[in-house]
């Protein structure tokens, strides 16, 4: 069973979080007045969602879980927004279910290490194992501030830290395996629909230049988000929410012309 939070009515926008996050991290989008139905999932092994049977790094299992969630929510087609590792899942879902995605947005995208040398992939996997072995609270103390811009609001640091402290080992390791073994590029090469790539201008985890290159490579539109680090939707919800509104307006225009 996949858990999600939602708010609003209208065209569906589905929000996919990253490896150290969860549905609750999108609270500034869920609370914003708008003309859309927002759904923020807890990916398998996170929050109130069930674990995957095996954490073997197969993105197709996350895609299947997302399709199941959308079916349960009775969403036929959605704007799909993937943040960080959620971008890899969003790209794969869009390639496998193109008719269910009206617009693809990749925010501060993690591209996966699938094309990296085996030693680097193993290093990424081992680092994540060590992080979760130390415990979510330790991870929160050491890493929460790194997801945000310098001088971030204390309430945003508490949001990130609180989510990290509640991470479940099996869910986190599944996502870590996906990060180490996954590769966004084969999926994006199959996507033929509209694409935007966003990135916080102060993101030191998935730097803006890599996000900009991703947009250029696959014919997408790039937007830098000022005053924002990796968790750009927390640091600068005003600009992120404005970009979401712009996507809806673009879809509406295409449907009437």
At 157, is the secondary structure helix, strand, or coil? helix
Which option is the CATH number for 4-256: 3.40.50.1820, 2.60.120.650, 3.50.50.60, 3.90.420.10?
A: 3.40.50.1820
Go through 125-156 and write b for each residue having 16 or more CB atoms within 10 A of its CB, e for each that does not: beebbebbeeebeebbeeebbebbbeebeeeb
Tens-place pLDDT, residues 215-232:
999 999 999 999 999 999
Confidence of residue 55 (pLDDT cuts 50, 70, 90): low
Instruction: Output the average pLDDT for the chain.
Output: 95
Residue 124 has pLDDT above 90, yes or no: yes
Contact indicator for 164, 158 with CB cutoff of 8 Å: no
What residues contact 242, with CB distance under 8 A and at least 6 apart? none
Determine the average pLDDT of the residues in 93-99: 98
Confidence of residue 141 (pLDDT cuts 50, 70, 90): very high
User: Domain locations in the chain?
Assistant: 4-256
Determine the average pLDDT of the residues in 48-75: 91
pTM score, whole prediction: 0.96
**Alpha-carbon distance values, 120 to 57, 112, 123, 194, 244 (Å):** 16, 11, 5, 32, 35
Q: What is the pLDDT of residue 257?
A: 72
What sign does the dihedral 192-111-67-12 (CA atoms) show?
A: negative
Determine the average pLDDT of the residues in 122-137: 93
Tens-place pLDDT, residues 229-251:
999 999 999 999 999 999 999 99
Residue 73 has pLDDT above 80, yes or no: yes
Determine the average pLDDT of the residues in 79-89: 98
Confidence of residue 35 (pLDDT cuts 50, 70, 90): confident
């Amino acid at each position: 069973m996949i858990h999600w939070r939602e708010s609003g009515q209208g065209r569906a926008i589905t929000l996919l979080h990253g490896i150290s996050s969860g549905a609750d991290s999108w609270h500034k989008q869920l609370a914003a007045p708008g003309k859309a139905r927002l759904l923020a999932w807890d990916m398998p092994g996170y929050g109130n969602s069930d674990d995957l049977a095996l954490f073997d790094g197969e993105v197709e299992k996350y895609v299947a879980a997302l399709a199941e969630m959308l079916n349960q929510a009775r969403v036929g087609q959605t704007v799909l927004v993937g943040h960080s590792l959620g971008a890899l899942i969003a790209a794969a879902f869009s390639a496998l279910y193109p008719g269910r995605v009206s617009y693809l947005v990749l925010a501060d995208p993690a591209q996966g290490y699938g094309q990296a040398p085996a030693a680097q992939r193993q290093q990424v996997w081992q680092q994540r194992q060590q992080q979760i072995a130390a415990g979510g609270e330790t991870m929160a103390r050491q890493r929460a501030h790194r997801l945000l811009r310098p001088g971030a609001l204390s309430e945003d640091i508490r949001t990130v830290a609180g989510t990290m402290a509640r991470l479940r080992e099996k869910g986190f390791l599944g996502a870590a395996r996906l990060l180490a073994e996954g590769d966004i590029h084969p999926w994006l090469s199959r996507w033929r629909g509209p694409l935007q790539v966003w990135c916080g201008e102060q993101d030191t985890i998935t730097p803006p230049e890599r996000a900009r290159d991703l947009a250029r490579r696959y014919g997408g539109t790039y937007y830098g988000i000022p005053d924002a680090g990796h968790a750009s939707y927390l640091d600068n919800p005003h600009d992120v929410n404005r970009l979401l509104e712009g996507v809806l307006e673009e879809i509406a225009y295409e449907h009437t012309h």
